[in-house]
Structure 1
Amino acid sequence: MRAMRGLWHWRHNPVRRRTDRIEAWIALAAALLIVLGAPALGWFTGRAAHGALLEAVRRQHRERYPVWATADRPASRPSARPDPETSAPHGARQRTVARWTGRDGSAHTAEIAATRAVQPGARFRIWTDGRGRMVPRPMDTGAAATHAVLAGLGVAGAAGGLVDAARRLAVRQLMVRRYRRWDAAWERAGQDWGRADAGS
């Protein structure tokens, strides 16, 4: 609205300059791009990201399988960092040596970071690939939707910031041209400034 009021103000102003009209049009175009263009770009980006993430969710659920692991003994060293695929708080994970059988029938033994302290012989679920190797838990549709929304918001915000930065740069260039014209006009006027017959 401010850009539209400014454009209307300069439309009938007798002292308006060409740079004033250009600046008002730039402000109007930037406002429309920020209000309409940036959200539209964010929506399309979020929609595309959501489709790609849903395909990744389907692929992960096809390629990853839950199996039962049996704890053998506690690991000799504690877990230094939490598993990013889970919501367990920092320092709450315990490492244990466990064994399991993969979907293909292969036997595996490895150290596993469990979300809670497990006693030898306790069973818990892990995720493996087709060869029985342990993999992170597959993403769910809720996480995919959240990531898509964040991607759309990020793109919309970045687009709005770029448009505003371009507007500021364009206005700055207009101001530089305006000041140069003023300097040139003052130089021409300064040659006759203060002379009695300057206006004759």
Structure 2
Amino acid sequence: MTRTRATRVKKVPLWRWRHNPLRRSSDRVEAWIVLAAWFVALVGGLLAGVAADAGMADSLAARRASVHTVSAVLTGNAPKSATVTTAGGSGDTVWAKVRWSGADGSTHTGMARVATGSTAGTSVKVWVDTRNRLVTSPPTALEARLQSALAGVLVAFGTGGAAAGCACLARFRLDRRRMRAWEAEWKRVGPQWRKKMNG
């Protein structure tokens, strides 16, 4: 009894780029689409990520430069219980009214987070912008670096994913076009084969 060995089909690398009488024009188009998708995904994604990182870093640096801390005082006693904090507040701080003086000597008041149980007249540090409006504290240099790096990574992956998605869509449409061409060709050739087989 003889054993038959299954023959393996050898994959030819870069077959779409080789000269081949069976290669269709759509195969060449598909090869260019794949090449362009890889280029955009790798190079374009890298450049977009670096640009997003730099843009976010500049934006956060500008924000840090546009705010500064001032010394303010509580105008009244802060609540002793954190149960009066608004949604999203921490248990160690509460909202209380504070007063501070601007660089031009003008007096300003607003609501800021202070430690629970602070008494009137307690000095606190608050962040204000160039118009002496209370703002949230800007991210630290480390936080800003992490945020900008994360933005760069997300944009890079988003660009690569978009390129891959467009390439898949283009290849899908090419496949559908080839299937329609094959169907049309079979409708033309199929009856002739049937006549030969039946004849």
Q: TM-score range by the shorter chain?
A: 0.7 to 0.9
Contact 1:57-1:141 at 8 Å conserved across structures: no
Question: 1:141 — aligned with what?
Answer: 141
Q: Tell me, in whole angstroms, the C-alpha distance in 1 between the residues paired with 2:118 and 2:106.
A: 24
Q: CA 1:66–1:17 in structure 2 vs 1: closer, same or farther (change >3 Å)?
A: same
Structure 1, residues 20-40: CA drift from partner, whole Å, max 9, x if none? 232222212211221222112
Task: Tell me how far apart the structure 1 counterparts of residues 54 and 133 of structure 2 sit (CA, whole Å).
Answer: 33
Shift of residue 131, structure 1, vs aligned partner: 6.1
Q: Separation in 1 of the partners of 2:134 and 2:156?
A: 38
Question: CA 1:111 to 1:52, structure 2 compared with 1: closer, same or farther past 3 Å?
Answer: closer
Counterpart position of 1:120: 119
Structure 1 residues 155, 40: CA separation in 2 closer, same or farther (over 3 Å shift)? same
Residue 182 to residue 195, structure 1, CA distance change in 2 (3 Å): same
Aligned to 2:85: 79
Rate the CA distance shift 1:57–1:131 in 2: closer, same or farther, 3 A. Answer: closer
Superposition deviation, residue 55 in structure 1: 2.9
Report how far residue 139 of structure 1 moved: 4.3
Distance 1:128 1:196 in 2: 90
Q: Using structure 2 for the length normalisation, give the TM-score.
A: 0.74
Match of 1:171?
171
Report the number of matched residues.
185
Structure 1 stretches of 4+ with a deviation exceeding 6 A read none
Cα distance, 1:185 vs. partner? 0.9
Deviations 1:42-67 (A, max 9, x none): 1123223323432332233xxx3421
Q: 1:175 to 1:147 in 2, by over 3 A?
A: same
Identical aligned residues as a percent: 31
Unmatched 5+ residue regions in structure 2? 1-11
Structure 1 distance, partners of 2:131, 2:55, is 32
Counterpart check, 1:23 vs 2:30 = yes
What is the rounded CA distance, in whole Å, between the counterparts of 2:131 and 2:88 in structure 1?
Answer: 25
**TM-score if structure 1 supplies the norm length?**
0.73
User: How many angstroms does 1:92 deviate by?
Assistant: 4.0
Aligned position for 1:86: none
How far off its partner does 1:184 sit? 0.7
Deviation at 1:136, TM superposition (A): 2.5
Alpha-carbon separation, structure 1, partners of 2:17 and 2:51: 36
Amino acid at match of 1:78: V
Q: What runs of 5+ residues in structure 1 fail to find an aligned partner?
A: 84-89
Query: Are residues 109 and 29 of structure 1, via their aligned partners in 2, closer, same or farther at CA, if it must alter by over 3 Å?
Result: closer
**What is the distance in 1 between the residues matched to 2:112 and 2:55?**
36
Which residue number in structure 1 is paired with residue 3 of structure 2? Answer: none
